[in-house]
């Protein structure tokens, strides 16, 4: 079955990468989440997509220049005028705590492309182990050094390189770096690539799939999962097929 992973939570309707978006994704039947992790000045793991807080919060500046206490004062839901209360930038440990109460899988994307965030992988792995979530976590990154590093530190946790462009035989590449899957842009995931990868035991989880026709295609071809802003649409289409 193709799993439906809510990209930054139920981000088509709720503020991305917030507890509200994660809770709402679970309510509509998403099998899992995709979220982005960065690190504060004092080493706290926080869930936010951009290196800067400017786009998604009412603050300004780089995540790496805030302390955890400072960044938690920002409102990550300020653009959604219908919300009656502030949405804090979640701490990764807060999300993991919440995951203890359900059975969702969680794709943690390391956002360590622009800044190296020294020791981030080690911290995230320690947190996964603390909450004993090893079997429900998938690590991914566009930074393939980080993917390789994570796989060597925690071989018990699934990893997947993110691929923005098409790659010749991406399943061979994933195997060569000891990853159990890869996460391509959906346009870089034609049916033949998906089929061959799955046949050779490598998971394929394309992003960010919001068009109905693409959802149908990926489900019919037997994709392992799809990462979507609209988990409700994904769940409904999967039911109809």
Q: Is 185 a catalytic residue?
A: no
Tell me the per-residue interface mask from 28 to 57 with Ca ion, x by CB under 5 A, - otherwise: --------x---------------------
Structure tokens at 176: 């060569």
Residue 158 touches Ca ion, criterion: CB under 5 A:
no
Site for ligand G3P in 201-240 (CB under 6 A): 207-208, 227
Out of 17, 18, 140, 224, which residue is the one contacting ligand G3P (CB under 6 A)? 140
Residue 149 interacts, among Ca ion, ligand G3P, none and using kind-specific CB cut-offs from 5 to 8 Å, with none
Place of tokens 């995931």: 189
Nearer to ligand G3P, 55 or 73 (CB): 55
HEC profile for 147-188? HHHHHHHCCCCEEEEEECCCCCCHHHHHHHCCCCEEEEEHHH
- Give the angle 140-49-41 at the CA atoms, nearest 5°: 100
Question: Phi and psi for 127 in degrees, rounded to 5?
Answer: -70, -40
Out of 3, 6, 7, 184, which residue is the one contacting ligand G3P (CB under 6 A)? 7
Nearer to ligand G3P, 70 or 173 (CB): 173
> What is the distance between the alpha carbons of residues 139 and 124, in angstroms, rounded to a whole number?
10
> What is the distance between the alpha carbons of residues 183 and 171, in angstroms, rounded to a whole number?
10
Shortest distance, position 84 Cβ to ligand G3P, whole Å:
28
Q: Is 149 a catalytic residue?
A: no
Active site (catalytic) residues: 7, 49
Binding site for Ca ion (CB under 5 A): 36, 109
């Amino acid at each position: 079955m193709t799993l439906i992973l809510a990209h930054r939570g139920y981000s088509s309707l709720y503020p991305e990468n917030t507890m509200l978006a994660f809770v709402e994704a679970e309510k509509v039947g998403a099998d899992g989440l995709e979220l982005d992790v960065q690190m504060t000045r004092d080493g706290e793991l926080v869930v936010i997509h951009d290196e800067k807080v400017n786009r998604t919060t009412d603050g300004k500046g780089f995540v790496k220049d805030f302390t955890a206490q400072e960044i938690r004062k920002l409102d990550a839901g300020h653009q959604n005028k219908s919300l009656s209360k502030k949405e804090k930038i979640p701490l990764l440990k807060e999300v993991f705590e919440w995951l203890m109460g359900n059975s969702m899988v969680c794709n943690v994307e390391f956002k360590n492309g622009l800044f190296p965030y020294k020791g981030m992988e080690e911290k995230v792995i320690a947190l996964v182990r603390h909450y004993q979530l090893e079997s429900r976590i998938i690590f991914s990154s566009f930074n393939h050094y980080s993917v390789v590093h994570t796989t060597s530190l925690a071989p018990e946790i699934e990893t997947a390189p993110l691929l923005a462009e098409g790659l010749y035989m991406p399943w061979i590449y994933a195997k060569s770096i000891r990853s159990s899957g890869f996460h391509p842009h959906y346009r870089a995931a034609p049916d033949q690539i998906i089929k061959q990868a799955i046949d050779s035991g490598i998971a394929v989880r394309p992003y960010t799939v919001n068009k109905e026709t693409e959802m149908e295609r990926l489900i019919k071809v037997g994709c392992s999962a799809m990462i979507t802003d609209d988990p409700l649409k994904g769940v409904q289409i999967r039911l109809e097929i």
